[in-house]
Amino acid sequence: MIVAILVLTGLALLFGLILGYASVRFKVEGDPIVDKIDSLLPQTQCGQCSFPGCRPYAEAIAAGDAPINKCPPGGETTMLALADLLDVEPLDLDEEAAEQSDVPEVAFIIEKDCIGCTLCIQACPVDAIVGSAKHMHTVIESECTGCELCLPPCPVDCIIMRPIKTTTDNWKWKSPHNIEADYPVIPMPTETELEKRA
């Protein structure tokens, strides 16, 4: 009896030491799940999820504080990818998220109206606007994520959103599935009908 107690206590101590050592030795810096979630988000940094950027939203999802359906730019694809990663049920898109148009857009500054106030430059989360005080600003199209964060600060409303131009480089083949959908369906005769015909 005493031997058993001693052995078990000894084992408990031993494993406790091993685990304690391992938790120090193999300590994970940061939260890998946040990184994984963050890598699935579209990185527009638009804040439409009510969090100040993609990473804070990822942290909130990881902590269980936010649902996975609040990313309008990511749309259904991102939501499904998140559901897949976190092994949770897919949700319907948030109202706001569902309204997002499919056509990707980028900001464009109407240069003759720009007064050079630099407010949009400060608002841009990815440094995609160049210009300096009292000089015309312009958007670097290839860097713009289309987050629309530069629209509200502009005092003269000279920033508009324009759809990205389709060229032969980014043109996509349509799914042929829709032409397949309307093939004529010939109803198969049932056995009784066949007997009748006979």
Q: Restricting to residues 85-144, name those near another protein by CB under 8 A.
A: 125-128, 143
**Residues 121, 137 contacting (CB under 8 angstroms):** yes
Report the residue from 15, 166, 189, 194 that binds another protein according to the rule CB under 8 A.
166
- Using CB under 8 A, which of the segments 3-11, 61-69, 86-94, 179-187 binds another protein? 179-187
59 contributes a contact to another protein by CB under 8 A: no
Report the residue from 25, 174, 196, 197 that binds another protein according to the rule CB under 8 A.
174
Instruction: Output 64 or 176, the one with its CB closest to another protein.
Output: 176
At 161 the three-state DSSP class reads: strand
What is the SS3 assignment for the chain? CHHHHHHHHHHHHHHHHHHHHHHHHCCCCCCHHHHHHHHHCCCCCCCCCCCCCHHHHHHHHHHCCCCCCCCCCCHHHHHHHHHHHHCCCCCCCCHHHHHCCCCCEEEEECCCCCCCCCHHHHHCCCCCEECCCCCCCEECCCCCCCCCCCCCCCCCCCEEEEECCCCCCCCCCCCCHHHHHCCCCCCCCCHHHHHHHC
Report the residue from 53, 57, 62, 97 that binds another protein according to the rule CB under 8 A.
53
45 contributes a contact to another protein by CB under 8 A: yes
Report the residue from 25, 28, 155, 167 that binds another protein according to the rule CB under 8 A.
167
- Contacts with another protein, 23-42, as mask; x by CB under 8 A: ---------------xx-xx
- Using CB under 8 A, which of the segments 11-19, 92-100, 177-185, 188-196 binds another protein? 177-185
Report the residue from 183, 188, 197, 198 that binds another protein according to the rule CB under 8 A.
183
- Give 66's DSSP letter: S
Distance CA 79, CA 57 (A): 13
43 contributes a contact to another protein by CB under 8 A: yes
Instruction: Output 38 or 94, the one with its CB closest to another protein.
Output: 38
What residues line the site for another protein (CB under 8 A)?
38-39, 41-45, 53-54, 125-128, 143, 145, 166-168, 170-177, 179-180, 182-184
